Amino acid sequence: MDNNKNLWAPWRLGYVLSEKPKECVLCSMPGDNDDEKHHIIHRGVTCYLLLNLYPYTNGHMLVAPYRHTSEYDDLTTEELAEMAQITKRAVQAVKKSMRPGGFNIGLNQGQVAGAGIHEHLHFHIVPRWNGDINFMPAVAGVKVMPQSLDEAYETIRSVF
């Protein structure tokens, strides 16, 4: 018997099947200097925090280093420390502004491990609520999100 629970996100199929840009999106977004357009919540010295444009749940964020690397063991001590600090602050901000029941926090290194942007390492911060994955995506291919990306951006950013 399999007691595991799956986090299904069929709405992400649009991203999976879409043509990917030639340049690394996680390198180009911070260089564009339009934080609101790219939903960049916070800029640190070595890394930054942004909303995932194809979220699993409301408030799904990414922490990415500015430096282009795909390997965890290539991160510097400074990058690791700042990524941990920004992750902690992001969790605190979401707890305060959205009151989730828990979080999934982690990374997928490499395409075979499930990384959607495998060439640029990044951490996921996924807020979770009881019943956040319901029948709508499975039956109708519809994702029920309580906020738009812009609203989630303002909600989290206002308390970060």
Report the catalytic residues.
Answer: 122
**Three-class DSSP category at 138:** helix
Cβ proximity of 30 and 66 under 8 Å: yes
Amino acid code (one letter) for 16: V
Q: Which of 47, 131, 57 is nearest to 94 (CA)?
A: 57
* DSSP element (H, E) containing 104: strand 102-106
Q: Measured between alpha carbons, how far is 56 from 120 in angstroms, rounded to an integer?
A: 19
Q: Kindly give the residue spans of alpha helices, DSSP state H, lying in the chain.
A: 13-17, 25-31, 35-38, 77-98, 135-140, 149-157
**Three-class DSSP category at 64:** strand
